[in-house]
Amino acid sequence: MTETTVGIGGAAESTDMVLNIGPQHPSTHGVLRLRLVLDGERIQSAEPVIGYMHRGAEKLFEARDYRQIIMLANRHDWLSAFSNELGVVLAVERMLGMEVPERAVWTRTLLAELNRVLNHLMFLGSYPLELGGITPIFHAFREREDLQHVMEEISGGRMHYMFNRVGGLKDDLPAGWLGRARQAVAEVRSRMGVYDDLVLGNEIFRGRTRGIGVLARETVHAYGVSGPIARASGVDFDLRRDEPYLAYAELQDVLKVAIREEGDCLARFECLLEQTHTSLALADACLDRLDELPPGPINQRLPKVLKAPEGHTYAWTENPLGLNGYYLVSKGEKTPYRLKLRSASYNNIQALTELLPGTLVADMVAILGSLFFVVGDIDK
């Protein structure tokens, strides 16, 4: 029998290990780097290192006119393109004191909710994948494809729709589109039970997520966390209900805000799933209303050169991932003097510094994935 002794140095037992997670390809959890300090398999501290996808969009806003900035704002959260556009045009319309035609208001509400479902389906499918369950992602992409067809039909785009305009929408809806959209919503709803049974009913999934990564309500308020992540920690706040915009004031009987108190990974997933069911119900209500509306304009006629009056305003919306706000400052020119973007993921991801310390490395992916972020929405 041979014994081999390996010298590791006297300081090894008291030396912490620094582990870099990422940066990776954007289609994983992206060009986000986590700098972890470990004590064995337990995380002592975590620092999100951001900026690898920063493209200076806020500075570019100042060199583009009010029509062109819609394209720039479209892209930071690439799963919520329609909602991103919406915040910009609402800010400009508020500065102009512009009333939008009723058909445009209801159509915007419908498309915002369809876009919300598309966003949530991606995370409902990808989160189980990160925990070892490959099947839900195939279901998620099938449901997404049904909705992508109707979104692509009206806008021509699959991800970046560019359908909002200051004063309304680019075009009216194609003939028969409302019926096709209603059918797509019904098909998606009929298959949503997959996530209740296949995912939430899976004891392995529940074992990996229940009681893991508990986010306290105080931390939510301290870091400005919003959206389904905040509501999973008992923060009962949703702009669509508490400060209605578009047609949400008339949809309060349909809008059910998903709330959980546990604040763990499982609660965040449950909030996301319940919110998807609510968005499908809201989409149906919007379709019913659009069927009743008489024919009319879908947008306002604009001057060739659009200038916002001097002043400032803040427009925020309940984006799929949380609060999305635009602070617009105008000097009366055709370009914004300043346009500051407050994105949901930027605030949400900062909570990792509180969530990860004290947890095991094995739970890090479960916690990271449950924050439902898009890296472009962090870096913008």
User: What pLDDT was estimated at residue 18?
Assistant: 85
pTM for the whole structure: 0.91
DSSP 301-325: ---SS--PPSEEEEEEEEETTEEEE
User: What pLDDT was estimated at residue 28?
Assistant: 54
Cα 68 to Cα 327: distance, rounded to the nearest angstrom: 17
Structural tokens at position 362 = 């094995």
Peptide linkage before 228 cis (omega within 30 of 0): no
User: What pLDDT was estimated at residue 26?
Assistant: 52
Cα 137 to Cα 128: distance, rounded to the nearest angstrom: 8
Cα 85 to Cα 164: distance, rounded to the nearest angstrom: 6
User: What pLDDT was estimated at residue 159?
Assistant: 85
Q: Angle formed by the axes of helices 102-130 and 361-369, to 10°?
A: 170
User: What pLDDT was estimated at residue 83?
Assistant: 92
Q: 72: alpha, beta or left, given left = phi > 0 and alpha = psi -120 to 50?
A: alpha
User: What pLDDT was estimated at residue 39?
Assistant: 86
User: What pLDDT was estimated at residue 190?
Assistant: 92
Which residue is listed with tokens 């029509």? 67
Mean pLDDT, each 10-residue run in order, the chain (380 residues): 51 67 62 86 89 86 91 88 93 93 95 95 91 90 93 89 92 92 95 88 91 93 94 94 94 94 93 95 96 91 90 94 94 93 91 91 90 86
User: What pLDDT was estimated at residue 362?
Assistant: 87
Structural tokens at position 317 = 């919306």
User: What pLDDT was estimated at residue 6?
Assistant: 47
Cα 115 to Cα 25: distance, rounded to the nearest angstrom: 24
User: What pLDDT was estimated at residue 5?
Assistant: 44
User: What pLDDT was estimated at residue 50?
Assistant: 87
Cα 304 to Cα 291: distance, rounded to the nearest angstrom: 33
Structural tokens at position 229 = 């992540």
